[in-house]
Structure 1
């Protein structure tokens, strides 16, 4: 989708992904839409990162492929509703990684 991650891959925790919020995208609006429309909750940034990044947990039930794909589709919808144009299809990119 063209989103930038905070932490480099070589030191990133697989259980938590921190994603920079694209310019012009309303943090609270996206998180609210994810929760209200899709039943998906992600965390906002804390401290100096408040309003600048999202914290996406990938542990237990939420790390199953079907939930990850659902999250990516929901996030893409919410971002488009905010006027953000993804560079590519997040679900398609994930499926290529998952299934080769």
Structure 2
């Protein structure tokens, strides 16, 4: 069973309590009405699918219900660290060197 650390509850919980909520730290257009259809389609539909370190949004749906961000290795499926929504994106070196449960 995969355990995911919720930075709000402060506990490692079963993956069954969580839902993936997409890519984290997406740069949103400042005025969406002023962008072209192509730029809107790129913003709205196109996401990175990197191999290795990824930053994602997750929701503790069967717990506190809050959204948080996670740095995860998409190859091993290991969560490297989790941190509260609104906190700045950690640099890759920090995320890769983080121990399980970092951000507690």
TM-score (norm 1): 0.28
The higher relative CO (CA closer than 8 Å, separation ≥ 6) is in: 1
Higher helix share: 1
Structure with max Cα Rg: 2
TM-score (norm 2): 0.28
Higher strand share: 2
